């Protein structure tokens, strides 16, 4: 897809993906589950508004998942650990007003309102593969702008080697934070080179609409060559750091989750293989497909890790 495209691939295919998933649910005899799932998209769709966007670069040509798949099957532990918990528990979350604290090794620290963060940018549609460590994947039409464009505005200095991000901590509004599943608030990090790479997106929407709460409203990261847990949601802090930051899943299970979290089919998770994946919406009996190195973006990002042992630095 390029900037001159008039018709986006996801505008053509999304309805058929949606209907195919319905047929699978019915064929599998999951009538009750299908009925419950059918009720979900209406609420999710009603909660968001349309965005003015243009087609962006770097998109995959793969058919995206349906709106239903993307907005009802989520990992967002702040709203619960079940895949449908974020949809069910995040409906009353209010992502406005919103501000982001910027600090650390930069010339323009401060507190910036959502409008200050998003306002200067043309929002781009980008269709990216999204892969989680549980050996499932989606193709998601994100809406956002390059993270690097935002970070440059804060003028990081030469000591800024990493960027640390933090999610909102508010157990009243985020009921999953009332349980000690992780050390709250959720924190993540990237090298400055990863953060500045043009593939890395600050996402504000999906499918041409504002981000639903369960997908990380109002601001989340999308780093398409990494596993999904790197895509921190509901961001309230950005810090430019000299040293590699500790991150939530590293602290929780360092033998399972590393700082880089690059998709590498040659390195198994300690509890499962990551060599093959199942596309959400394809059905329980669909054949798994081979996982691609760097999630299919090796040509664009492999140079970031020249000389790095990707088995040790997982």
Residue 193, both tokens = 């080179």
Mean pLDDT (the chain, rounded): 88
Domain ranges of the chain: 9-305
Q: How far apart are the first and last CA of the chain?
A: 31
Q: What proportion of the chain, given as a percentage, has pLDDT over 90? A: 82
Most distant CA atoms of the chain, gap in Å: 59
Mean pLDDT, range 162-177, rounded to an integer: 98
Q: Comparing C-alpha atoms, which of 168, 244, 238, 169 is closest to residue 200?
A: 238
The class level of CATH for 9-305 reads alpha beta
Per-residue pLDDT of 232-248, as tens digits, reads 999 999 999 999 999 99
Mean pLDDT, range 159-172, rounded to an integer: 98
Q: What is the pTM of this model?
A: 0.87
Cα gap 125→127, rounded to integer Å: 7
Mean pLDDT, range 14-38, rounded to an integer: 37
Instruction: List helix spans (H) across the chain.
Output: 9-27, 31-46, 67-72, 85-89, 114-118, 147-153, 192-196, 248-252, 298-301
Per-residue pLDDT of 45-92, as tens digits, reads 445 789 999 999 999 999 999 999 999 999 999 999 999 999 999 999
What does each C-alpha distance from 186 to 143, 173, 286 come to in angstroms?
23, 15, 34
Res 286: pLDDT:
87
Residue 195, both tokens = 């953060």
Mean pLDDT, range 192-203, rounded to an integer: 98
Res 285: pLDDT:
84
Per-residue pLDDT of 250-296, as tens digits, reads 999 999 999 999 999 999 999 999 999 999 999 878 899 999 999 99
Q: How many residues does the structure list for the chain?
A: 314
Mean pLDDT, range 194-211, rounded to an integer: 98
Does the structure show a pLDDT above 60 at 37? no
Res 232: pLDDT:
98
Q: Which residues contact 4 (CB under 8 A, 6 or more apart)?
A: 55
Res 11: pLDDT:
47
Per-residue pLDDT of 102-140, as tens digits, reads 999 999 999 999 999 999 999 999 999 999 998 899 999
Res 208: pLDDT:
97
């Amino acid at each position: 897809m390029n900037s001159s495209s008039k018709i986006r691939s996801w505008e053509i295919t999304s309805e058929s993906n949606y209907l195919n998933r319905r047929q699978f649910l019915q064929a599998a005899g999951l009538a009750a589950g299908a009925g419950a799932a059918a009720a979900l998209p209406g609420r999710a769709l009603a909660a968001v508004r349309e965005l003015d966007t243009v087609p962006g670069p770097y998109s995959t040509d793969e058919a995206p998942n349906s709106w239903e798949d993307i907005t009802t099957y989520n990992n967002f532990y702040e709203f619960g650990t079940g895949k449908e918990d974020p949809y069910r528990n995040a409906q009353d979350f209010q992502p406005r007003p919103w501000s982001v604290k910027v600090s650390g090794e930069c010339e323009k620290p401060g507190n910036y309102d959502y409008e200050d963060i998003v306002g200067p940018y043309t929002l781009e549609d980008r269709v990216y593969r999204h892969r989680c460590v549980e050996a499932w994947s989606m193709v998601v039409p994100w809406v956002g702008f390059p993270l690097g464009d935002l970070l440059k505005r804060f003028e990081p200095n030469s000591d800024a080697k990493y960027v640390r991000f933090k999610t909102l901590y508010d157990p009243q509004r985020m009921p999953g934070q009332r349980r000690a599943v992780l050390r709250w608030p959720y924190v993540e990090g990237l090298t400055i080179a990863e953060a500045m790479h043009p593939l890395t997106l600050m996402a504000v929407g999906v499918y041409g609409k504002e981000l639903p709460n369960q997908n990380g409203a109002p601001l989340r990261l999308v780093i398409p060559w990494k596993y999904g847990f790197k895509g921190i949601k509901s961001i309230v802090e950005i810090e430019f750091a000299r040293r590699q930051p500790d991150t939530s899943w590293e602290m929780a299970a360092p033998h399972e989750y590393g700082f880089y979290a690059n998709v590498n089919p040659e390195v198994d998770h300690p509890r499962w293989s990551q060599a093959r994946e199942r596309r959400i919406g394809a059905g329980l009996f669909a054949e798994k497909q081979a996982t691609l190195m760097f999630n299919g973006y090796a040509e664009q990002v492999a140079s970031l890790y020249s000389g790095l042992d990707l088995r040790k630095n997982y």
